[in-house]
Amino acid sequence: MLSLSTITPSTKPLLPIPKSSFAGVQLRPIITLPATKLTPAGWSSSCSRPRVVVMMAKRDEELKEIRAKTTEEINQEVVDLKGDLLFLRLQRSARQEFKSSEFRRMRKRIARMLTVKREREIEEGIGKRLSRKLDRKWKKSIVVRPSPSLKKLREEEAAAEAKKSE
């Protein structure tokens, strides 16, 4: 007769995974390099155990910056970013030079801002249905105006024309 034995996987992880807080501080273990390899300035290569260093990502810093703003400032910046996004689309369709990475960067920034705005609504106890209703009202109240980047571009063009006419 054949006997089957079951193997239970260990519940212990191979490396301890450091926890991170909601604010976005990430703890990552850094493994020191042997003395024969190059080490960054200020690191001791004689230390044999890994050290933990607190590292902040740009995204986390950006989230802190967004959370420091009021809801009205967030709404205003979302409108400005959407205007810039439209301006980028117009540049692309007119086959002008533009940075294609700006599309993703702007969309992600808009999404982060709207996420923070929704988090605040949840804290206030506003439900999903009412949130959508308020969002529709807010979108209808938006007055179409040129984006800050378009204003800046027009000012630069006006300054260039003024130099030519002098």
pLDDT tens for 38-97 read 445 545 555 555 555 555 577 788 888 999 999 999 999 999 888 888 888 888 888 888
- The answer on 135 and 103 residing in a single domain is yes
pLDDT confidence tier of residue 27, bands split at 50, 70 and 90:
low
Phi-psi region of 63 (alpha: psi -120 to 50; beta: other; left: phi over 0): alpha
- The answer on 130 and 75 residing in a single domain is yes
Q: What is the DSSP letter of 28?
A: E
In a domain? residue 15: no
- The answer on 123 and 49 residing in a single domain is no
In a domain? residue 84: yes
- Range among 89-93, 113-117, 141-145 with highest mean pLDDT value: 113-117
In a domain? residue 14: no
- The answer on 132 and 80 residing in a single domain is yes
- Domain around 139: 69-151
- The answer on 96 and 144 residing in a single domain is yes
- The answer on 83 and 54 residing in a single domain is no
- Range among 5-9, 88-92, 108-112, 152-156 with highest mean pLDDT value: 108-112
Q: Which helix (H) or strand (E) holds 145?
A: none
φ and ψ of 94, to 5 deg: -85, 0
User: What percent of the chain is modeled with pLDDT above 90?
Assistant: 20
Q: pTM higher than 0.75 for the full model?
A: no
Instruction: Give residue 68's pLDDT.
Output: 93
In a domain? residue 16: no
- The answer on 139 and 73 residing in a single domain is yes
In a domain? residue 86: yes
Instruction: Give residue 36's pLDDT.
Output: 47
For the chain, the domain total comes to: 2
> How far apart, in Å, do the first and last CA atoms of the chain sit?
102
